[in-house]
Structure 1
Amino acid sequence: MTGPRLVSILRQGPYLIASIHTALDDSQMTAFQHDLVDRIGRDRARGVVIDVAALDVLDSFATRTLRTIGEVARLRGAVTVVVGIQPEVAFTMVALGMDTGSLHTALDLEEGLALLDRAVGPRRPVTALRGGAA
């Protein structure tokens, strides 16, 4: 019998929504990174939302891994937004000098999706990109 899922990755249109449901150790965080990056290519995602609302701690390894996911996703053509950082976690991150780098953040899933809509823009048909009739 397997336990509850630690993370979930769902597709919503051109976006992936990844939710971390509980604290992950370093190996679980690395596995999550590889799974998410794989899904970006497989699903041809144009944006990724990573929801960390369930976490009451974001250590330096997790923060660095989220930054890495954002950079790798960018190189694969997707914009990444981290949502749901709890106030206590944000205070601790600032106090410890931890930084999300160029990673976008938003308050919650709704605002994260709105940010992706603004950043990515409307999806155009492939024929329009090749100069054909849309």
Structure 2
Amino acid sequence: MDRVPILRLGDCLLVTVQVDMHDELAMTLQDDLTNKIVATKARGVLIDISALEMVDSFIGRMLGNIAAMSRILDARTVVVGMQPAVAITLVELGLSLPGIRTALNVDAGLALLRRMLDEGGEGTHVD
């Protein structure tokens, strides 16, 4: 079975989605990530979706669910590398993804996540 790599960076986790997500992989990622947040006491999650060329409503909802679960486990979530077609699809599907902050790349995402953790709040969108 495929798995999405989850790397630890200090008190944060880096998730790099390197293949097109299918439903089973998204469910596995959700389980793996929540377990890893608890095991490592991570305070932040950075999800790099730059390799995703398309999403459907299920994958969009799963991203929202992952952010909500992370928040409940006291970790903030930032999604980086969203392709224009993915953003368009999410908007067309009516998915607002509450609780997810975005940034254009990993560097900007890490900076945003750092600010969110330092401030103890939700942070703001970074371009």
TM bucket, shorter chain: 0.7 to 0.9
Query: What's the counterpart of residue 113 of structure 2?
Result: 116
- Structure 1 or 2, whichever has the larger Rg, is 1
Question: What is the Cα deviation at residue 99 of structure 1?
Answer: 2.0
Question: What is the Cα deviation at residue 96 of structure 1?
Answer: 3.0
- CA RMSD, Structure 1 to Structure 2 (Å): 1.6
Instruction: Give, in whole Å, the separation in 2 of the partners of 1:50 and 1:93.
Output: 16
Q: 1:41 and 2:27 equivalent? A: no
Corresponding pairs, count: 119
Instruction: Give, in whole Å, the separation in 1 of the partners of 2:18 and 2:92.
Output: 25
> Mind listing any 5+ residue stretches in structure 1 that lack a counterpart?
123-134
Percent of aligned pairs with the same amino acid: 41
Query: Amino acid of the residue matched to residue 63 of structure 1?
Result: G
Query: What's the counterpart of residue 97 of structure 1?
Result: 94
Instruction: Give, in whole Å, the separation in 1 of the partners of 2:3 and 2:49.
Output: 12
Q: What is the DSSP-based 3-state SS (H/G/I as helix, E as strand, rest coil) of the residue aligned with 2:69?
A: helix
Q: What is the DSSP-based 3-state SS (H/G/I as helix, E as strand, rest coil) of the residue aligned with 1:72?
A: helix
1:6·1:20 contact (CA, 8 Å) conserved in 2?
no
The CA deviation string for residues 52-94 of structure 1, in whole angstroms up to 9 with x for no partner, is 0000012111111111111111111100111111012212222
Query: Amino acid of the residue matched to residue 72 of structure 2?
Result: L
The CA deviation string for residues 86-131 of structure 1, in whole angstroms up to 9 with x for no partner, is 0122122223322222211111111110111101018xxxxxxxxx
2:21·2:52 contact (CA, 8 Å) conserved in 1?
no
Q: Tell which deviates more after alignment, 112-121 or 97-106.
A: 97-106
Q: Tell which deviates more after alignment, 84-93 or 15-24.
A: 84-93
Instruction: Give, in whole Å, the separation in 1 of the partners of 2:65 and 2:77.
Output: 10
2:56·2:89 contact (CA, 8 Å) conserved in 1?
no
> Mind listing any 5+ residue stretches in structure 2 that lack a counterpart?
120-127
Query: Amino acid of the residue matched to residue 46 of structure 1?
Result: R
Q: TM-score, normalised by structure 1?
A: 0.83
Query: What's the counterpart of residue 75 of structure 1?
Result: 72
